[in-house]
Amino acid sequence: MKGLIKLGRLFYGIGIIALGVHQLIIKDFRSEILSPFPAWAHQYPAFSILTGIVLILAGIIISGIVTIKFIDTRKVCLYLGFAFLAAFVVSHLPFIFIFNTDKTNATQIWINAIEELTYSGGAFVLAGSYSANKSESKFDKFLEKLIPVGRIFYSLLMLLFGLSHFLFAEFVSTMVPKWLPGTMFWTYFVGVALICSGISIIFKLWIKPISLLLALMLLLFVLFFHIQDAVANPTIGGGNEIVRAIIALLFCGIALVIALTNDSKKELLTSEAI
């Protein structure tokens, strides 16, 4: 169990590193990190490059690849979660409700926004897997209150992905591997699984086994879909398909940590025990 929590942190951290590296490559913000609003932020590559560097550093620390004694990883997670949440509030929401004039792409715009919220939720979930530092500031204590909603932020994307399997079934079915018979069955089956997983995590219904099964399913997505797509299209969007594969691993990591730190009976382990 302890090893799975560390694995979840590793997967999440690697995903954050991938986001940062990709921004260095494309010299712009990824669409889920920052919406087209504000436009000036996209006009100067320095902003996206600096953000990319910060993401890489945060990802390295969270992943556990490098241990720095004087850095509180829990606080890194809290601040990262707040940064993603702030970007959701000040960039995505104004763009969705005020500045977006192209309503034909509304679904993808909402997915981008909820995905940012998922990154935020994941960071708060991971923060909850570490013990609290007694010498916390008032701001830190405020961020602590957001830890319980981390799993809800995460679940919203699972619900959205699940619904998309029904709303866009024909399109989603094209993503099912050709060697797997019954493409429509698997399209609907995965949709139901994602929706049920989201509901389970929100309401803490059999949260441990459901989250572990969700993590396994997401890992299978990485192995049998995302990796193949990344290999087939390695240069599209500056390596975006590769990044998408790693992001799926990030989602898997969040599910692992949720399963092992949100037991319906008790919170499990602190960082010292791990």
Query: 68 lies in a domain?
Result: yes
Quote the pLDDT of residue 180. 85
Report the alpha-carbon distance of residue 110 to residue 161 in Å, rounded.
11
First-to-last C-alpha distance (Å) of the chain: 9
Binned at pLDDT 50, 70 and 90, residue 132 comes out as: confident
Using alpha carbons only, what angle is made at residue 260 by residues 256 and 261, rounded to the nearest 5 degrees? 115
Stretch 124-153: mean pLDDT: 91
Query: 159 lies in a domain?
Result: yes
Report the alpha-carbon distance of residue 156 to residue 154 in Å, rounded.
6
Q: Examine the pLDDT at 265 and tell me if it is beyond 70.
A: no
pLDDT tens, residue by residue, 152-180: 999 999 999 999 999 999 999 988 888 88
Q: Examine the pLDDT at 49 and tell me if it is beyond 50.
A: yes
Query: 18 lies in a domain?
Result: yes
Query: 64 lies in a domain?
Result: yes
Give how far the C-alpha of residue 44 lies from the chain's centroid of Cα atoms, to the nearest Å: 26
Contact 149, 121 (CB under 8 A): yes
Mean pLDDT of the chain: 92
Stretch 239-247: mean pLDDT: 96
3-state secondary structure 87-98: HHHHHHHHHHHH
Q: Examine the pLDDT at 211 and tell me if it is beyond 60.
A: yes
Quote the pLDDT of residue 269. 41
Query: 98 lies in a domain?
Result: yes
Query: 269 lies in a domain?
Result: no
Quote the pLDDT of residue 135. 66
Query: 268 lies in a domain?
Result: no
Binned at pLDDT 50, 70 and 90, residue 2 comes out as: confident
Q: Which residue has the higher pLDDT, 272 or 259?
A: 259
Neighbours of 65 (CB within 10 A): 12
Q: Which residue has the higher pLDDT, 102 or 197?
A: 197
Quote the pLDDT of residue 160. 96
Quote the pLDDT of residue 266. 44
If one counts the domains in the chain, the total is 1
Quote the pLDDT of residue 175. 84
Query: 13 lies in a domain?
Result: yes
Q: Examine the pLDDT at 223 and tell me if it is beyond 60.
A: yes
Instruction: Find the domain containing 135 and state its range.
Output: 2-261
- One-character DSSP codes across the chain: -HHHHHHHHHHHHHHHHHHHHHHHHHTS--TTTS-S-SHHHHH-HHHHHHHHHHHHHHHHHHHTSS--TTS-HHHHHHHHHHHHHHHIIIIIHHIIIII---GGGHHHHHHHHHHHHHHHHHHHHHHTTSPPPSS--HHHHHHHTTGGGHHHHHHHHHHHHHHHHHHTHHHHHTTS-TTSS-HHHHHHHHHHHHHHHHHHHHHTSSHHHHHHHHHHHHHHHIIIIIHHHHHHSSSGGGTHHHHHHHHHHHHHHHHHHHHHH--SS-----TTT-
Quote the pLDDT of residue 244. 96
Q: Which residue has the higher pLDDT, 212 or 3?
A: 212
Stretch 74-80: mean pLDDT: 97
pLDDT tens, residue by residue, 27-48: 999 999 999 999 999 999 999 9
